[in-house]
Amino acid sequence: MSNISKLLSCTQKLGVRSYSSEAVKLFANRDFLVQNPETKITTLPNGIRVATEQSFGETASIGVWVDSGSVYENEKNNGVAHFLEHMIFKGTEKRPSPNFIETEVENMGGNLNAFTSREHSAYYMKVLKENIPNAVDILSDILQNSKFDQKLIDDERHTILSEMQYIQSQENELVFDQLHATAFQGSPLGRTILGPVENINSITRNDIKKFMEDNYTGQRLVIAASGAVNHEQLVQQVKEKFGSIKAGDAAPRQLITNEFVGSELRVRDDSIPLVHFAVAVKGLSWSSPDYFVLELIQTMIGNWSRSIAAGRNVSSNLGEVVATEGLAESYSTFFSCYNDTGLFGNFGVAQPGRVDDLVCEMLKEWQRIANACTDAEVQRAKQSLIASSLMQYDGTSKICESIGRQVLTLGRRITPAELYLRIAEISVSDVRRVARELLVDVSPAVTAIGSVENFPDYNFVRGWSYWNRL
């Protein structure tokens, strides 16, 4: 018997609660869970956290994660976090032009990219192991010494506007922007990441610099790395290159409240042949103790699309109904987390004539899970969630991304073993409890675009969120 099995059987002897024995039931051999590199985290004097997982090999992914996104903007400068992310690549004193940076990155065969979300910005590189010091230098340079050339700012407005045009041609992106706009109306989360056209046209060099000074401070930075990276060496390099960033304060999260508002926003456009919609409830924040239970519920409700091989044989109950009745082109279950709130619900694409049945079936499934889900289906979903969560550890880029996000949102890293145990301990009663708290008798946020004429009235949807006992 392996040491780990011994450890777990020990805990059983201690007569403790059932989840460890549930865990034992699921896998006979759990050694693979701990054959994962250790996460090392060091906090520098200025608050920057350096988090690494050394898995060796020939390449490394390294990135800077910033606790800063559109949620820290106001109405006037909405869009500046994203604008800033674009301008970071446009040149520093040492690297005078965009072309200079691009050539330097490509000369070493690396790549450099970035994204901005509602709560985070990230800048990350993938390089051969001998180029790690160079990567740290590039990241530190662009994040501290960017020139923000006025002419390049003006040129970039055009690029961002065409990015906006692209996003607005994607119905699923539009639905989620609309969903945030209605569910978090009047709150910072309700605004879009790109910001309104007026702001994109008017944001100044000073706006960008000010936003960076206020938000890109030591306490709000995480430098994450995975692959052929040595922790102590990286800490040393980061100390040298990022040491002069001032500590500042932690992100002003307590100042931001994002109230969830049950509401509806529909945009009728009959030139779009289908209905694209989302029905959401207030979900959970990153640090909620029920985080994994809700992830499990997400797995149970599942996803389906016309192109999946399993067709009507999918393991989710809703998927089977949708496939058999031909209710949708596709549907998915989403769970977006934020620092103080979250969104949970279903996204769907359907023919106008089927959409009311589809929405009804979705909410019926929520009620079924809250009131009548079975042990067998919970166990099956657990197995599938454990597997899909563990399979996320696939390649240094994905791992680096997940280290950065977790350290930023939770202040620590969740190991495969913890992930496994947290999911394995969930019971049917946990699932029903969380589903009842979140999915039963609630006023959801509803949004739809396209041929929405036949989309059910808000009060119908609200009414489907509970079952009457007769």
Partner 1 sequence: MLSRLVVKKPFVRSVCAHSSSPYQFNRHHHHHHTLDRFLETGIILDQYIIYSSFIESKRVAELTTLENGMKVVSLSGGFTGPAAALGIFVNTGSRFESQTNAGSNQVLKNLAFQSNESKIYLQVQREIAEIGSTAFAQISRDNLLISSEVLPPFSKQMLTSLSNITNPKLAYHEVRDCTEQTIEESESLEHCPVTQVFESLHKQAYRGRTLGRPLVAPVCNLGSLATEQVVDVANSAFTPSNLTLVGVGLNHKDLVKEAQQLKFGKTNGGAANKGESAKYVGGDEITYVTGNNHIVLAFEGVSYKNTKDVAASAVLKAILGGGSIQPKTAPGNGKTSRLFTLLEKNQSSLVKTDSININYQDTGLFGVYAESTETSQVGQVIANLANEFATVAKSAVSAQELDRAKNIAKTTVLEQTDSRSGALEFVGKQALYNNAKVLTPEEFVQEINSVTAEDIKRVASKMLQSRPTLIVRGNIQDVPTLDQVQSLTKFF
Q: Which stretch binds partner 1 (CB under 8 A): 97-105, 328-336, 351-359, 361-369?
A: 97-105
Is residue 417 a contact residue for partner 1 (CB under 8 A)?
Answer: yes
* 59 sits near partner 1 (criterion: CB under 8 A): yes
Q: Select from 22, 24, 27, 466 the one that contacts partner 1 (CB under 8 A).
A: 27
Catalytic residue among 53, 73, 85, 329: 85
| Element containing residue 54 per DSSP (H, E) | strand 49-54
CB environment 148-186: b (16+ within 10 A), e (fewer): bbeebbeebbeebeeebeeeeeebeebbbbbbbbbbbee
Residues 6+ apart with CB under 8 A from 190: 180, 181, 182, 183, 184, 258
By the rule CB under 8 A, 250 interacts with partner 1: no
Among 52-60, 252-260, 327-335, 436-444, the segment contacting partner 1 (CB under 8 A): 52-60
Angle between helices 132-145 and 98-107 (to 10 degrees): 170
Structure tokens at 364: 């019926």
Q: How far is the CB of 68 from partner 1 (least distance, A)?
A: 19
247 binds partner 1 (CB under 8 A): no
- To partner 1, the closest distance from the beta carbon of 279 in angstroms equals 26
Please say which residue, 58 or 93, places its beta carbon nearer to partner 1. 58
57 binds partner 1 (CB under 8 A): yes
Q: Does 275 bind partner 1 (CB under 8 A)?
A: no
Cα–Cα distance for residue pair 118/192, rounded to 1 Å: 8
Site for partner 1 contains 101 (CB under 8 A)? yes
Sheet with 263-268, edge to edge strand ranges = 263-268, 445-450, 275-282, 342-350, 330-337, 304-305
325 belongs to the catalytic site: no
Is position 387 an interface residue for partner 1 (rule: CB under 8 A)? Answer: yes
Binding status of residue 126 toward partner 1 by CB under 8 A: yes
What is the C-alpha separation between 352 and 176, in angstroms, rounded?
19
Among 336, 351, 384, 427, binds partner 1 (CB under 8 A): 384
Closest to partner 1 by CB, 330 or 447: 330
The pair phi, psi for residue 104, each rounded to 5°, is -60, -45
Can you give the length of the chain in residues? 470
Report residue 424 as tokens: 């394995």
Counting contacts by CB under 8 A, is residue 460 touching partner 1?
no
Does residue 133 belong to the site contacting partner 1 (CB under 8 A)?
no
Determine if 442 is a binding residue for partner 1 (CB under 8 A): no
- Name which of residues 293 to 312 contact partner 1 (CB under 8 A): 309-310
Which one, of 16, 14, 22, 164, lies nearest residue 86 by Cα?
A: 164
Give whole-number Cα distances, 143 to 151, 168, 213, 397, in Å.
Answer: 19, 29, 11, 20
Q: How far is the CB of 375 from partner 1 (least distance, A)?
A: 15
Part of the chain binding partner 1 (CB under 8 A), chosen from 40-48, 195-203, 206-214, 215-223: 40-48
Burial zone of 267 (CB within 10 Å; 0-12 exposed, 13-18 middle, 19+ buried): middle
CB of residue 468 vs partner 1: minimum separation in angstroms?
Answer: 34
Residue 42 binding partner 1, by CB under 8 A: yes
DSSP state of 311: G
Token couple for 389: 């969560």
Least distance CB 394 / partner 1 (angstroms)? 5
Site for partner 1 in 164-183 (CB under 8 A): 166
Told to check if 394 binds partner 1 by CB under 8 A, we report yes
* Residue 385 binds partner 1, judged by CB under 8 A: yes
What's the gap between Cα 214 and its chain centre? Answer: 24
Among 69, 110, 190, 262, binds partner 1 (CB under 8 A): 110
Q: Which residues carry out catalysis?
A: 85
